[in-house]
Amino acid sequence: MKTKLFAAALLVASSRLASAADAVSVYDPAPSAPIPTAAFSWSGGYIGANAGYGWGNGDAVDLGDDFFDEDFGQTHDVRTDGFIGGVQVGYNWQSSSFVYGIEANLGYLGLDGENRILVSPDNSGSAELGIYGDLTARFGFAVDRILLYAKGGVAATRYDLTYGDLVDDGGLDEDSSASRSGGNVGYTLGGGVEWAFNDRWSTKLEYQYFDFGTVTLTDIEGDQADVDLDAHTIKVGLSYRF
């Protein structure tokens, strides 16, 4: 009798344990919601460096000493090129997908060139662009970590110019030649694409055009020439965002 009671109790206990195990196995709590990640923002300051290549013109137009000068309107073109480099600092604000900001650049253009014509009209010219700086406004459209932008503002550079006539031995005629060094202010326009490859660092590819205006040269005989200075640049840059 005791054996039968013990077996029955054991059977009831096993049944209850099995029911409890089934209840546990079918319990399926709702999965926890993923923690949302903050959208990337271009807002904030940055500082960095850039390098690339540039080319341009130092085209001179002879103004003569009066309208009836036989050389009036004569042109002498000088092509310049070279490697460039510099640093940039700026600040961005972002509203929805639109990004706008301000940026300053300081660097060295390193563009130079010379053109000597040994036959008539026996002209020579050389131009060099050196230290430059610009202050531009930027406006762009962001797709997450990709930013397409345009920029424009004021720019200035230091120049060294020498233009004039050649004598028979190939040297410059001191009476009809002029040299000038200094600085000139103009404008710049450009645009590019920037990629933030993590939360702090970004890289960019940028085209920028510079028009540094006109410099007037005057020789000792009073003849004048206007030299137009411009430059095109392609550069890559790396910036640290803070």
What is the secondary structure of 46-95 as a DSSP string? EEEEEEEEEEEEEEEEEEESSTT-TTTT-EE--EEEEEEEEEEEEEEEEE
Cis ω before 31 (30° cut-off from 0): no
Give the residue, 44 or 7, on which the prediction is more confident.
44
Residues 147, 209: contact at Cβ < 8 Å?
no
Tokens of 95: 């509203």
Q: How far is CA 16 from CA 7, 13, 23, 79, 134, in A?
A: 14, 5, 11, 96, 83
Selection from 12-21, 35-44, 179-188, 219-228 with the highest mean pLDDT: 179-188
Residue 14 confidence (pLDDT): 53
The pLDDT-based confidence of 192 (bands split at 50, 70, 90) is very high
Give the residue, 66 or 236, on which the prediction is more confident.
236
Cβ neighbours for 5, distance < 8 A, ≥ 6 positions apart: none
Q: What is the pLDDT of residues 15-67, one digit of tens each?
A: 554 555 554 444 455 556 566 566 899 999 999 999 999 999 998 888 866 44
Give the residue, 109 or 169, on which the prediction is more confident.
109
Residue 67 confidence (pLDDT): 42
Report the share of the chain in percent with pLDDT over 90: 63
- 92 vs 41: CA distance, rounded Å: 10
The pLDDT-based confidence of 221 (bands split at 50, 70, 90) is confident
All structural domains of the chain: 44-241 (2.40.160.20)
- 176 vs 233: CA distance, rounded Å: 33
Residue 35 confidence (pLDDT): 61
Cβ neighbours for 123, distance < 8 A, ≥ 6 positions apart: 74, 76, 115, 116, 117, 163, 164, 165, 166
pTM of the model: 0.81
